Amino acid sequence: MPGLRQSVLETIRMIGNRSGCHQMPERSFFYKGKQFPVCARCTGVIIGQSVALLIGMFKDISFRKTFLCLAIMGVDWGLQEIRIKESTNFRRLITGVLGGFGFYSILVGILKKCIYINSKNMKRS
């Protein structure tokens, strides 16, 4: 089992790296001395995306809310990037959750509209 767990973590680390995660140790969480396979912000993004998928199946999320979630993450990233305010891992996690939620909420909304339009067209045929 430890070999399988290590293999899964390495796969997640590889996917994170190819997705653009820098995986910097100082911007990552550690558990029992082991670094998470993705940074704090990407950890939050994954959590936010998962929550958006679950909520999006049952509820429509307004564009205003999704834009606000994305904007908060963008502002935090921007302030850090231009060195106005250094972010913390906790703040990166929270803004990552918001950004992941906002982005996937938009995707889920588009997917639901496509399915609705397609099902409407199929009924006419």
- CA proximity to 40, closest of 15, 20, 23, 16: 23
3 state DSSP class of 30: strand
The pLDDT value recorded for residue 13 is 79
Residue 1 — pLDDT band, cuts 50, 70, 90? low
Any idea where the domains of the chain sit in the sequence? 2-124
**Is the full-model pTM beyond 0.75?**
yes
